[in-house]
Structure 1
């Protein structure tokens, strides 16, 4: 089985860490236990040059980091050898049916040569130099057509489909069907990315999504955020195997998820007014914030409810498996009453990797007795609660991340 995180960003994207380099991404993929990681930002010319310099073909449409650039690090026991797949995200902002649409698209490609061909075409349309995730005034239908014409082997996935500001179904673009967005090219869409603020059960409620594979990725803006969502594959380690799994489900075992409440657009609300609302409460307020009188930011749960035709708790018979996790530093921090970013927590995190193995192995597989032997009973208990879903969920809203509590204050 392979773990893949396909939607990430480079240091050329806005609001990203300067550490989003191939060597740091490869290091953190090893630490996390991620076998396939997206390159992100394939449209940016300088990033492509950096990828061409630092990566080498691994065969079958994937790449590996050249040995000379590998960061020497013995902190992970039984680490993986990550492969890169060429990916990128494009932001389309355009008018359709007298409404401004803002939609992000995730694209997978079989080679850097294909990335070059598509980027040459996109450069004639807009600026691809200023941001790793370019903003183009290009209808999603036309973007999909351009990508398919220049690389028929490409995979096009509508990104984080429920996010309010930049997505197919989000509150501000408000497409109500895939056909409304992609028209006659809708049959070429085979998968959707659910995003941090929704999980598979939320998407199962919407029957029009039944034909699509549900995938999840981190959308990481720093290497340490890799894998906060990811995909589980049983495939040949190749671009062809990866593309087939995403588009047909053959070899896609399931996903690793955020708890959706932890996503920063799960519920409705106003961050400046510290107001978090359920969809029912928003309707009672008629969409107007009772504190400041401005329009409430409608979140993912609300839009899912608007488009759903099935009750909460519905389970698809053909559904893929999923697991909801939080990053290991959050578990360690919760068990010690410290910030996940504290020096003590980070030191313990690296110690656990060295003695036990990659982060995903610790969170998902390693026996609790072994974890307790290395890190004590509280960390082991936190992981037990995480695996069983025994957590308190405080939802995020209007750009404010939610919180997942493993221990209450008294415990």
Structure 2
């Protein structure tokens, strides 16, 4: 069987608001191993204080940065902000082969940003100019459009109201560009938009705490270093992603959080409670751009995932959960194996009937959802037989 890597590249350090104080290198690695992630992004690579932590804790060898035997790639998120009729902005995750490439990036964009202040720096430049400058630094630096459909900071989110990437970047194709699904979308939704089928899809946790590492991730052929990793990630036919059920994402449906109102009726744009505009959710946005998302099939394989602790919270008494969790990790290696990949006949030897039924329902997508909307995460329960 071919060896694979499970990559979670989009994360935030404990310096980033509102991250957990445990988002340091040792805790990130500890939780990644338990979750089943084999390569992490550092996140926040532009923040000087975090960069110091990375320099102290990680050593470069054979194309990756290592903490002990665990590999990292250097990643950071930026917010492109620019005028196009009005102010618009969206988030981009960047990955760098070396610290030197990071320094060259900061030098080139210094006049457009301040890299000393926040973990996700604002870069005031047009998307077209951003790509031009970046390619002059190192054309191998991948551009990852973060959570592409989310309303406020997704490149194709409702706040920007762009119709296409061509409109955004003023070109037909961008080399080394990747699309990130985000927690409120999955590959089928992404590839329902015909233009996006030109680009490889990635998924990542956007985690601000160790417990959320791996809630979304990307699996690909095992790589010996940075460049091989991203070449492998372009080969969609050999990859798969780990996906949050998009219905649970906090921007899935249209709605208004303050009034606790949500709807899947796309003809409703005004909150009936207060009269203000609803926040247009990802499902609505995908329908606008892709027209018929339900009729499209992704060329990328993917698996929906619910964290193991979340399952055990519903199937065991609180006093029993910790022991069962540790037993399962000891027997099957990590959470991804327990929830998705191990034979359920083997898992059944260690869990009660209710847990086994929950795992079966999750693997088969047989869940009922309380949909997420306007910054509110959704909830789930197994369907009653």
TM range (shorter): over 0.9
Relative to structure 1, the CA distance from residue 208 to residue 36 in structure 2 (aligned partners, 3 Å threshold; closer, same or farther) is same
Residue 289 of structure 1 corresponds to which residue in structure 2? 271
Number of residue equivalences: 382
Alignment correspondent of 1:233 = 220
Q: Write the distance in 1 (CA, Å) between the matches of 2:115 and 2:341.
A: 42
Instruction: Judge conservation of contact 1:89–1:107 (CA < 8 Å) in 2.
Output: yes
Counterpart-to-counterpart distance in 1, 2:319 and 2:15: 28
Q: Which runs of structure 2 are paired with 1:11-26 in the superposition (5 Å)? A: 11-26=14-29
For the 8 Å contact 1:4–1:34, the answer to whether it is kept is yes
Q: Which residue does 1:126 correspond to in 2?
A: 113
The 8 Å contact of residues 215 and 231 in structure 1, kept in 2 or not, is answered as yes
After TM superposition, give the deviation of residue 196 of structure 1 in Å: 0.7
Question: How many angstroms apart in 1 are the aligned matches of 2:61 and 2:367?
Answer: 41
- Listed as ranges, the gaps of 5+ residues in structure 1 are 67-80
**Normalized against structure 2, the TM-score is what?**
0.94
Cα deviations across residues 113-132 of structure 1 (Å, max 9, x unaligned)? 21122123333322222221
Task: Give, in whole Å, the separation in 2 of the partners of 1:324 and 1:243.
Answer: 23
Matched-pair contact (CA < 8 Å) for 1:141–1:185: no
Matched with 1:368 is 344
User: Counterpart in 1 of 2:353?
Assistant: 377
Residues 1:350 and 1:133: Cα distance change in structure 2 (over 3 Å): farther
Q: Distance in 2 between matches of 1:163 and 1:353?
A: 33
Q: Using the alignment, how far apart are the partners of 1:343 and 1:112 within structure 2?
A: 46
> Which residue among 4, 7, 10 is the counterpart of 1:7?
10
Tell me the alpha carbon deviations over residues 62-89 of structure 1, each in whole angstroms, 9 at most, x when there is no partner: 11104xxxxxxxxxxxxxx531011111
Q: Secondary structure at the match of 1:143?
A: helix
Q: Is contact 1:382–1:407 with CA below 8 Å preserved after alignment?
A: no
1:75 counterpart residue number:
none
Unaligned runs of 5+ in 2: none
Instruction: Kindly provide the CA deviation profile for residues 349-379 of structure 1, in whole angstroms up to 9, marking residues without a partner as x.
Output: 2332123321111112222232222222222
Other structure's SS at 2:303 match:
strand
8 Å contact from structure 2 (residues 81, 89) kept in 1: yes
Q: Equivalent residue of 2:83, what SS?
A: strand
Q: Residues of 1 paired with 2:245 and 2:325: CA distance?
A: 21
CA shift for structure 1 position 225:
0.4
- The answer to whether the 8 A contact 1:263-1:401 is kept is yes
Matched-pair contact (CA < 8 Å) for 1:207–1:309: no
2:78 to 90, 107, 122: 90
Q: Give the distance between the partners of 1:170 and 1:207, measured in 2 at CA.
A: 16
Q: Which residue of 1 aligns with 2:168?
A: 181
Q: CA RMSD, aligned part only? A: 1.9
Query: Which 4+ stretches in 1 moved above 4 angstroms?
Result: none
Cα distance in 2 for partners of 1:134, 1:16 equals: 16
SS in structure 2 at match of 1:187 = coil
- Number of the residue aligned with 2:333: 357
What is the match of residue 71 of structure 1? Answer: none
2:278 is equivalent to residue 276 of structure 1: no
Task: Name 1:54's counterpart in structure 2.
Answer: 57
Give the 5 Å matches for 1:212-361.
212-246=199-233, 248-249=234-235, 252-278=238-264, 281-283=265-267, 285=268, 287-310=269-292, 312-316=294-298, 319-336=299-316, 344-361=320-337
1:64-143 to 2 correspondence within 5 Å?
A: 64-66=66-68, 82-96=70-84, 98-143=85-130
